[in-house]
Chain A
């Protein structure tokens, strides 16, 4: 016992006295804080390129985009964030509704087609993904695949379908159907999906399970499949992508966007970061990465592995029309999917 006491005390004292300060340094170019709900890999490459280009240091905070959005709501005026970069637009629309976003510089907005950005100019679209059907190639033949997302609610897919209704990519599908065919039709469709489908917690699991044959098909954003193929290699890939017929309601484009916070103390540097994201260098960085997202700036072509964006989705709804997604959520909650 007498041996233990000093050891215990010294450990307590040592751990209490450890330097607990965060590292923070200032560069001549200035510094900004970025809250990123984007995939870390994409963000890291863009940030590195931006720091090289401008000398502005970027501190990155990565989390689930909805958690970061909530965090910004709680932080309000005191938010340390200067820029918020999200994987989807509904969370940006929510922050705009709470008057927490500054207007994006007009030149930045002009760099990408206006339909990919906030109608009021509160955020700019940076990259896009297209909804697609992933199917197991040993279980299904391409000829037997549905041409419309609506067919997935039919009884023939019972027990074969995979869904991830809690993912932020799922609500835009409901919103798109509700806008074109009405809320009751969207509810009926979702009921069919629910009775046909196995529920998975996220798209990563969904695409994994379809690839392994646990489920036969499901709707995802195209890039999940390309990323899984990267991890598994061609030999481990037993699945493929299939796009719905042109003009189908299931052709949904999900946009990743960025915004400057109204409370930012570094508005100039923050706007430069947004300008960089849609600049030729920023967009080329996205195009050449393994993120498999579509750059939005005209003239910058996507990863050659991808079919052209115009061929896989005419974007029947703009992200601004998709709104904050709350009505889609209400439908999901009504059916007990959430």
Chain B
């Protein structure tokens, strides 16, 4: 492929010019080292545990028919789900960014909200709606509807920033509107699509709750089985290492396809945004119906089942716990985790973007691995580490926050990276030459430029942490409940009516960051409109 977007050429020119010549900032090196160590911690635990089981056990686990089934189930779901998410994400993003669709701001928020609904709620909603739904179709449906926002978000930002000039040239040279979309627009947003699909695939590798309900067996489901029933951490570790290998393959594949230059914003901002395509009455109705169908399926079914639980739910036999207390804890832990993950992502991305070499790129890729590991595995790794080397930390709120930050670091890295590639270090150098201190130059020049990316990172991690369950159950401070733990406790008691408000609260507090995310996207587009 010889057609490289001009912005990418600029980016690589910066990196060529600056890497090697610029001094490595100590703060970034220290921060990135901490991030790297945190990511390696659960991996090291897996290797140690897997070794304890020995080759014989590993052979028993891996060289059996079940392994082939699990591999086939995992791979076919990943491919199908990533493809569907790409279609839905690009389609929805195009309608929002490039057409005169009515109620644009409403759809922009509604399309992001499914991220804030816990997977087990989505799964339960669907299975209780259609009891015959299970296996591959159920898993594909549930995961696609939960994960498509991970493609939609970066593509929205990408589309908002594609230079209209290129598309106009293509039209002038005789290409039809479809051909222009395929040959010009799609090519420009390809890194965004690939980056989104990468997150979808990694998230899917680690999924458990929805597959348990859908009765679909993947490696992660098997890991939980070994861990829970076999009482066998070593076996779970061996299977987790297979997940690590799978995600390394996915990361390598995405890099090979050209996703390595991924950015949420496709240009430095000095271009003309494309005009919105006016939708005729008929097309507008069709587009509205499509969006309503997507949001109805992704939001309506789970929220509807929550409402149904509340209405139908009988007397709860559990002592009533304070929902506000659980809400406060969830918000507190999630916000702290979001701040920590964002803070860790900045140095990792700074090195990878501004001091690009083999080592910093590997470090950045390494930061994606936790997303492919089940929360249970990360949490058990932290348990094992902290009881040996940091007992004071064990089951403290800080440790839970740390676990969230490790688990969702990839989301923060993607979001921060998207902003960082458009913050040329040269501007910071200019500020230095005008007398700013290094810290001052960063604060006054770079920080404002990457602030939207930091917001996005904060929002994404917050939403994910607020709905996390398995690591929370293992690491939360004893006696401190969160929305997720209370929801779990009530559902295991059949008290669906009592559980539903907790899930509703999870959706509600996720709506705030989801709103911010959509504002950021539309806000950027609005600012660039001449």
With A59-B479, A66-B228, A71-B383 in contact, is A39–B493 under 8 Å at CB?
yes
- Which of B131, B317, B480 is in CB contact (< 8 Å) with A41? B317
Residues 205-232 of A at the B interface (beta carbon under 8 Å) = 205, 209, 212, 214, 227-228, 230-232
Stretch at the interface among B150-158, B244-252, B447-455: B447-455
| Residue from B213, B387, B455 in contact with A8 in the complex, judged by beta carbons closer than 8 Å | B455
Instruction: Give CA–CA (A233, B489) in the complex, Å.
Output: 21
B291: Cβ under 8 A from any A Cβ: no
Is the pair A2, B228 in contact by a Cβ cutoff of 8 Å?
Answer: no
User: Is B396 positioned at the interface, with any CB of A under 8 Å from its CB?
Assistant: yes
Q: A76's contact among B315, B343, B387, by CB below 8 Å, is which?
A: B387
Whether the pair B339, A15 counts as a contact (CB closer than 8 A) is: yes
Asked whether, in the complex, the Cβ of A168 is within 8 Å of the Cβ of B229, the reply is: yes
| Complex: chain A residue closest to B454, CB-CB | A8
Query: Are the CB atoms of A70 and B396 closer together than 8 Å?
Result: no
> Beyond A5-B448, A18-B336, is A80–B478 a contact (Cβ under 8 Å)?
yes
A16 within 8 A of B: yes
> What per-residue 1/0 map shows which CB atoms of B104-142 lie under 8 Å from chain A?
000000000000000000000001000110000000000
A40 touches B489 (CB 8 A): yes
Q: Which of A65-96 contact B (CB under 8 A)?
A: 66-67, 69-71, 73-76, 78-80, 91, 94
Known: A20-B398, A59-B479, A212-B131. A166 touches B229 (CB 8 A): yes
Q: Is A18's CB under 8 angstroms from B227's CB? A: no
CA distance A212 to B275 in the complex (A): 54
Please give me the residue from chain B that is nearest to A336 by CB atom. B66
- The answer to whether A20 touches B396, judged by C-beta atoms less than 8 angstroms apart, is yes
Q: Is the CB of A22 within 8 A of B396?
A: yes
With A and B bound together, what is the CA distance between A66 and B473 in angstroms?
A: 12
With the chains together, A151 CA to B299 CA distance in Å?
A: 44
> Do the beta carbons of A15 and B228 come within 8 Å of each other?
no
Interface status of A156 (Cβ within 8 A of chain B): no
* B: number of interface residues (CB 8 Å): 67
Task: Say whether B480 contacts A5, CB under 8 Å.
Answer: no
Partner of B495, one of A5, A67, A212, A231: A231
Query: Which residues on B are within 8 Å of A, measured CB to CB?
Result: 65-66, 69, 127, 131-132, 212-213, 215, 222, 225, 227-231, 233, 312-315, 317-319, 332, 335-336, 338-340, 342-343, 376, 380, 383-384, 387-388, 391, 394-398, 401, 447-448, 451-452, 454-455, 458, 473-474, 477-480, 485, 489, 491-497
Stretch among A196-204, A238-246, A310-318 lining the B interface: A196-204
Residues on the B chain within 8 Å of A66, using CB? 227-229, 231
Number of interface residues of A (CB under 8 A): 66
B422 CB, nearest partner CB in chain A, Å? 13
Among A21, A64, A209, which residue has its beta carbon within 8 angstroms of that of B397? A21
**Beta-carbon contacts of A8-40 to B below 8 Å, as 1s and 0s?**
100110011010111100000000010000011
Q: Which residues does chain A contribute within 8 Å of B127, judged by CB atoms?
A: 205
For residue A62, CB closer than 8 A to chain B, the reply is yes
Q: How near does chain B come to A178, taking the closest CB pair, in angstroms? A: 16
Interface code A116-141, partner B: CB below 8 Å = 1, 0 otherwise? 00000000000000000000000000
Which residues of chain B come closer than 8 Å to A155, judged between CB atoms?
Answer: none
Q: CA separation between A233 and B215, bound complex, in Å?
A: 28
- For the complex, give the distance between the alpha carbons of A166 and B212 in Å: 10
Q: A4-B455, A166-B225, A168-B229 are in contact. Are A78 and B318 (CB under 8 A)?
A: no
A338 at the interface (CB under 8 A from B): yes
Cβ-defined partner of A231 (8 Å) among B229, B340, B451, B494? B494
Q: Is the CB of B387 within 8 A of A1?
A: no
The reply to whether B494 and A22 form a contact with Cβ atoms under 8 Å apart is no
What are 7 A-B residue pairs whose CB atoms fall within 8 Å in the complex? A11-B458, A18-B336, A40-B493, A67-B376, A78-B394, A171-B229, A326-B230
Which one of B230, B335, B395 has the highest number of Cβ atoms from chain A below 10 Å of its Cβ? B230
Which residues of chain A are within 8 angstroms of B391 by Cβ–Cβ distance? 78
A151-194 interface (Cβ within 8 A of B):
166, 168, 171
A267 on interface, CB distance cutoff 8 Å = no
With A39-B492, A231-B496 as known contacts, state yes or no: A73 contacts B397, CB within 8 Å: no
Provide the residues of chain B in CB contact with A2, threshold 8 Å. 448
Asked whether A59 and B478 contact (CB < 8 A) given A4-B455, A18-B335, A22-B396, the answer is yes
